[in-house]
Structure 1
Amino acid sequence: MSSASRKAKPARKTVLPYWLREFALIRLQVIVLVLTVAVAITAVSTSRWYWHQARDYQAWAQQKRNGARDRLFNAETEKREIRLYQPQYAALRERGLIGQENRLDWVDAMRQIQEQRKLMPITYELEPQQPVQMDGAMELGGYRLHGSRMNLHMDLLHEGDLFVLLEDLHQRSFYSPQECSIKRTASGPPAPLAPTLSADCTLNWLTLTPAPAPQVAQQWRPQ
């Protein structure tokens, strides 16, 4: 081979596309544009996040305001009901309907009525207090209705003695008469001031006692 052919061939220059050759002229503007778009996207995302936060806070504030308004309305309603029903409540409590049962008051009331009305001797037997099962649902406002059954026996000069006793008891306390039976005891001419009738009655003495507060079950937590 000749010496000329053994000489190295000159390197071929790489020709860049025109748009890449011209990019150096707008490189700064492209960088600014990219940064501007990034800042805009960040601003929009941040604005949407704050908007959602503000909407959630507004809903929470609205809920709190509605709750406060409802509590205020309920408090005003309760105040009006207390002013309206407090005299009746005090009267019912005075007559022994509300609160724990007081058997001594019942017995003392019968004794006083017997002495004042000059009635024949009265015998009775009180059974343990039991909850009263009502047929229909009744709102008792946190109270439970209980009854104590009394089996009562008394001799009568006439039927009016029994009615007087029951009416006087009704004025002093609350009871529900379950049944009464009257039978004649004297077959011949009645003797002066001698009983001619006898009555056997079953009465349910009623009381409203506060219902026990519900117990909150304690959850076990591992140590």
Structure 2
Amino acid sequence: MDALNRAAPTATGRVTLPYWIGGFALIRTAAITFAVTAFATIAAVVTSYWKLQHARQDELVAQGLRDAARQSFVHVEAEKQDIRIYQPLFLDLRRRGFVGAESRLEWVEAIRQIQAARRLLPLTYQIEPQQPYKLAGRVATGEYQLRGSRMTVHMDLLHEMDLFDFLSDLRQRGVFTVQDCAMRRTASAGNAPLAPGLTADCTLNWLTLTPPAALRNPGLR
């Protein structure tokens, strides 16, 4: 059978081609069309797959940008909400001299005015140089620096309310902490109506939240 399928010479010397080669001419156009169509189909599939991957990457990038924009929007809205909540407090603290450069002249004037308004007995005080103030816990102050100036006060009192009124009025003029306060009765009170019956020695820490500009250019206002 194999011998029959092989090309064999005829009596005229011509070679007889196998039947499938002779019949290929009948399907040549269809075969070429199939090959071109298959190649085009494969190329289209590869191109579509490449474009799909590229589109997915573009989608991921777009989603990342959208998420970043959403987070930025939420952050801005949170900051606006914080400003609405804390702006009145910030303005009040700035009015009281807590935010900004240290102003000892305003403190001295505030003490004089309170003493005159309350008709307090003479008092003496001393303010030390300003230093960075460290809190027990960590407080985020950004570029601002929390600084404090220690002030020792000696007061003669008619009664203990003089001290409490003085500190209460002083707290409206600035921000400070009371480090310690000792009150003692005087032995020479006598019966004089304006003789001091008590003395008080207190240590206060005047606090300021100082901006960077004031740190670079220190000085009194």
TM-score scaled by length of structure 1: 0.73
Closer, same or farther in 2 for the Cα pair 1:28/1:197, shift >3 Å?
same
Residues matched between the structures, number: 201
Name whichever of 19-28 and 94-103 sits farther off. Answer: 19-28
Q: Structure 1: how far apart are the matches of 2:40 and 2:186?
A: 110
Q: Structure 2: how far apart are the matches of 1:188 and 1:70?
A: 69
What is the aligned-residue RMSD (CA, Å)?
3.0
**Residue number in structure 1 paired with 2:170:** 169
What are the Cα deviations for residues 58-79 of structure 1, in whole angstroms up to 9, with x where unaligned? 2222222233233333333333
Unmatched 5+ stretches in structure 1: 1-11, 213-223
What are the Cα deviations for residues 152-180 of structure 1, in whole angstroms up to 9, with x where unaligned? 22233333322221111012221110101
Amino acid at match of 1:43: A
Closer, same or farther in 2 for the Cα pair 1:137/1:189, shift >3 Å?
same
Say if 2:36 is the partner of 1:38: no
Q: 3-state DSSP class of the match of 1:101?
A: coil
Say if 2:107 is the partner of 1:114: no
What are the Cα deviations for residues 114-158 of structure 1, in whole angstroms up to 9, with x where unaligned? 122222332222223333333334455664433221122223333
**Residue number in structure 1 paired with 2:7:** none
Say if 2:79 is the partner of 1:78: yes
Q: 3-state DSSP class of the match of 2:206?
A: strand
Name whichever of 22-31 and 75-84 sits farther off. Answer: 22-31
Q: Structure 2: how far apart are the matches of 1:152 and 1:158?
A: 16
Q: Is the 8 A contact 2:189 2:195 kept in 1?
A: no
Amino acid at match of 1:66: D
Q: Is the 8 A contact 1:186 1:195 kept in 2?
A: no
What are the Cα deviations for residues 11-44 of structure 1, in whole angstroms up to 9, with x where unaligned? x988766545655554444333332222212111
**Residue number in structure 1 paired with 2:9:** none
* TM superposition shift of 1:90: 1.6
Unmatched 5+ stretches in structure 2: 1-12, 214-221
Written as runs of structure 1 = structure 2, the 5 A alignment for 1:92-103 is: 92-103=93-104
**Residue number in structure 2 paired with 1:69:** 70
Q: Is the 8 A contact 1:125 1:151 kept in 2?
A: yes
Q: Structure 2: how far apart are the matches of 1:174 and 1:123?
A: 20
* TM superposition shift of 1:210: 4.2
TM-score scaled by length of structure 2: 0.74
Q: Structure 2: how far apart are the matches of 1:210 and 1:16?
A: 101
**Residue number in structure 1 paired with 2:57:** 56
